[in-house]
Structures are given as C-alpha cells and as structure tokens.
Amino acid sequence: MTPMTGELCLNFISMRPLELPDDDFRRLAAEVVELSAEYLSTLDTRSTFPATSGVEAEKLFATEPPEHGLGAAAFATLRDVMDRGRAQNGRFFGYVQGPGEPIAALGDLFTSILNQNMTAWRSSPSGVTIERTVVRWLAEAVGCAGFSGTLTGGGSSANLMGLAMAREAKSPGNERGLWGAQPGVVYASEEVHMAVPKAVAMLGIGRNQLRYIPCDDAYCMLPAELERAIREDKAAGRTPMAVVASAGTVNTGAIDPLPAIAEIAHANKLWLHVDGAYGAIAAMAVPGKFQGLASVDSLSLDPHKWLYQPLDCGCLLYRDLDNARKTFMYTGSYAKQLSTDPIEGFAFFEESMELSRRCRALKLWLSLRYHGLESFRAAIHRDLNHAQRLASAVDASPMLERLAPVELSAVCFRHLANADASEPERNAFNLALLKRIIRRGKVYMSNAELKGRFCLRACIVNHMTKESDIDAIVPEVLQAARVVTAELR
C-alpha cells in the first residue's frame, strides 16, 4: 500500500468516509442530468449496433478498483458508458424492449436518493402506499379490479411466484401441510416463454412434470389438447395442478383462448396462471382481445415492457390474498409486526417472495401521473397500428413471407432467399440476413423459430417509433438481403 500524503490525512480527519458535500452533489447531479439530456436529444441519430467490441469494452470498463477515490474524474467515463453502448431508439425492435420513459427515470433517481425499503409500511410509509396504489391501478387497468399483488424484478420472478402459489394451493397432499411425494403436473402451450419451465424446475416440481400442449396455426394453445393431456395424466394416476396460459407469447404475441382454458382449469380444479409479461398490459387499450383475464388465479405483467418503464419493473397480480400469505408468510421474530393497524401493519414480505426491495413503484406512479392513462393507451394503440403497418409492408413485398398472424405488436417474417430455395437454405439465409441487419445498425430486430423456420422478428413496444421508422424496415431488410446474396455468390 502506498502511504497517505499529508493532505489526504488531513481530509481524513476533517471528513467522514464517503462524505459528499452538498455543493459537490449538486454539481455532479447537474452533470449527469446534462449528459442524460444530451443522450435523449441525440438518441434517434445513434446506432442500434454496439459501438464497441468485446475487447474494447473490457479495456474500458473491466478495470481494477482504485484504492484512492478518483473524485469527480470518476464521472468522466459515463460518456463512454453512453457512447460505447447500444442505442435503444425508435428503430429498436428487439425482444420486448423499448427506450424507457424518461419521467420514470427521474423517479428512479429520486427512489435511490430516498433509499426506502419496500418490506413493509413501517419501513416506507410513502413508498409502500404508492406501491399498493400502482398495483391497484394496474389491476384495474387490465380488468382485474380487486386483485392484490406486488411489483417484482420482472416477469420471470412474477411467474415463479405465481407457480409457487399454485403449488401451495393445489399440490397433491398439500391439505396435510406437505407436498406429496409426487408433485402435481403443470400445463402450458409449446409456445410458452422459457421463464415457465425454469420456474417449474426451480420450484422442484420437476421438468418432466410440465406438459407442452400443441398450438393451432395461430400459435394459440388448443383447449381440446389441454383437456386430453389432463385426462391422460389423471388416468395414469398423476395429479394435474396448474395451467399456464400465455397472454401474448414472446414469439408472435399469440393470446391463448383464455375463456375456454379457464373453463377447463375450473372444471378440473386447477390453478390458472397467465403469463402476460409481454402482452397483458395491452388489455388496458384493447380489452376485447383479453376476455377471460379477470377469471384467472394469478397474472404476471411487465411494466418494463409494454408500459414503457425503465428496467426493472414487473408485477404479479393474484385473486386470493390468503393463498399468497400461505405461500409467502414465514415471519421471523426480527420481522415481527409491531402494529395491528390494517394500514400501518401491512407487510409486503408476507405476500411476496422478496424481503428487501427497491421502490419500483415511484417511477411508475410518477410516469402514470405525469402522462395520464390516456397517453399510455394511445401509445399502445400506436404500437398495434405500427405492427399492422409493418405486416402490410411485408405482405406487399414478393420476396418476404410473413410467418404468423399479428395479434399484438410482434411481426415474424422471413426472406425467401430465392423462389426455389430449400427450408435449410432459407434458415441459413435468414440467419445471415439478421446478423447483417443488426450489424448495419439502422434497425434492430431479434429472431424467432416457428415450426422449424428461422424468422426475423420485430416487436414494437416503443413510444419513440415514428411511421417513418416502420417504413424503413422493409427497405432495410431488402437492402441487407442484396448484400448477403452478393456475398454468397
């Protein structure tokens, strides 16, 4: 270790470790706000392809921790973090991801300053009240008024919690307070998101206890096949436990037939969880597409997807609070409630998975109050219209083939390569094409595989997208295809 200089020693005496004078905070915060504003105003001109290689990124950011603080100089690298990243602007159509709404980002900054813990009302009277409020707003917005719930890190943990509740409520042998030797069976469509098998495995239900139910041509679960699988399991002496329906599959945005599935789940006394991480929030704009949502037991949705919130903000809603408490209440003496007041004695940790949690609600509350529900509904409608516009452009292009109906805002299509290309040739061509499109940095798309066919997938949950951005997609795909074709010759 290097010995301290006299000056540093003096600083140590006069200042507490980690002390930050008010004026320094103001100056540095202003710098961050300035950089943020610069980013937002230049976002549209930035490339959707990372402006850095893996090696460059390591050189810049995989540094050793300094023994002595850099002070304000530490902030200088924020520009690199910004410039060397990848821009999620109005032409970013990958995954289920948009740019993030900036008012909410300001809420996030303030959240970290207040640093309140969402364990219980007593640890954050304002934050916990705001979280309970936005959970109610979300439930009402999607037609599930009266549901309780909690904000989560995302759809994955919301799905995990939903299935934990299903196991608590429906696992064979559970009436005796034990999960039986043989776990129950879970049903989901073959298009279900990977978060569901992961949750099934993590909960110890067992990978072989998950049935993948076949879909129709629109990638929706076939209720008759669900019924058949349940019947077969029962005949073999196994115990059906839960159905997971998708309200917006990640690949194509297909919505499983919720009323028919709910009827089957109900008749067989199964838990019905809906994975709405991608799509369910759109129920606030197009409720007709989501009939039956109010009849489910639990529902996951992701404000960080189709409510434009910065990461992270997921949500689990559930109908039966008692079951949530049975699943999640393991109160240790160190966490004992001191208040019996119905409001002040409230504890999130008795109704959800995590204990210490960031206040994800403040950004959402601020963003919803700033813009109003009407603006969010309008933004969702715009995304839906943009997806239809893209679908029409794809359909109008003889070299492109659309591979799925556009139920929500995901558009799956491929380039035919040439008129008599084989399926493996088309798959290889479209993989090369996607890589090329991404590299060119003008639009960003991800991929899906539908019935063995590799396709380009544009998912539009993006409040920055303009019609001209949508109109740029097909010409860009065709241009990139010409480049790929030329390279293959």
Ligand X SMILES: *Cc1c(COP(=O)(O)O)cnc(C)c1O
Min separation Cβ 251 and ligand X, Å: 9
**What is the spatial distance between Cα 195 and Cα 210, in angstroms, rounded to a whole number?**
13
Residue appearing with tokens 């069976």:
185
Min separation Cβ 218 and ligand X, Å: 16
Min separation Cβ 391 and ligand X, Å: 19
Q: Among the residues of 401-444, which ranges form H helices? A: 423-440
- CB nearer ligand X, residue 155 or residue 183: 155
- CB nearer ligand X, residue 100 or residue 314: 314
CB atoms within 10 A of CB 216: 13
Min separation Cβ 115 and ligand X, Å: 23
Residue/partner pairs of 81-86 with CB below 8 Å, 24 or more apart = 82/35, 82/39, 83/51, 84/50, 84/51, 84/52, 84/56, 84/57, 84/60, 85/50, 85/51, 85/52, 86/47, 86/48, 86/49, 86/50, 86/51, 86/444
Give the residue among 149, 159, 161, 186 at the shortest CA–CA distance from 171.
186
- CB nearer ligand X, residue 352 or residue 427: 352
- CB nearer ligand X, residue 193 or residue 319: 193
- CB nearer ligand X, residue 152 or residue 427: 152
- CB nearer ligand X, residue 194 or residue 338: 194
Min separation Cβ 334 and ligand X, Å: 30
Retrieve residue 483's tokens.
């480049």
- CB nearer ligand X, residue 196 or residue 294: 196
> DSSP letter string over 198-237?
HHHHHTTS-GGGEEEE-B-TTS-B-HHHHHHHHHHHHHTT
Percentages helix, strand, coil for the chain, rounded to the nearest 5? 50, 15, 35
- CB nearer ligand X, residue 121 or residue 444: 444
CA-derived radius of gyration, the chain: 25
**Helix or strand or coil: residue 150?**
strand
Min separation Cβ 428 and ligand X, Å: 27
- CB nearer ligand X, residue 278 or residue 444: 278
Residues that bind ligand X (CB under 6 A): 96, 154-156, 193, 195, 246, 250, 275, 277-278, 302, 314
Min separation Cβ 410 and ligand X, Å: 9
Cβ atoms of 407 and 258 closer than 8 Å: no
- CB nearer ligand X, residue 161 or residue 433: 161
**What is the spatial distance between Cα 458 and Cα 208, in angstroms, rounded to a whole number?**
33
**What is the spatial distance between Cα 196 and Cα 248, in angstroms, rounded to a whole number?**
14
**What is the spatial distance between Cα 137 and Cα 301, in angstroms, rounded to a whole number?**
13
Min separation Cβ 312 and ligand X, Å: 7
**Helix or strand or coil: residue 195?**
helix
- CB nearer ligand X, residue 162 or residue 223: 162
Min separation Cβ 193 and ligand X, Å: 3
Min separation Cβ 178 and ligand X, Å: 30
**What is the spatial distance between Cα 165 and Cα 159, in angstroms, rounded to a whole number?**
10
Q: Can you say whether the dihedral through the CA atoms of 254, 258, 260, 263 is positive or negative?
A: positive
- Residue 315 main-chain phi, psi, to 5 deg: -155, 140
The Cα-based distances of 438 to 85, 92, 97, 483 in angstroms read 14, 10, 15, 13
Min separation Cβ 144 and ligand X, Å: 17
**What is the spatial distance between Cα 281 and Cα 356, in angstroms, rounded to a whole number?**
26
- CB nearer ligand X, residue 134 or residue 277: 277
Cβ atoms of 430 and 441 closer than 8 Å: no
Q: Which amino acid is at 358?
A: R
Burial of 36 (0-12, 13-18, 19+ CB in 10 A): middle
Min separation Cβ 275 and ligand X, Å: 5
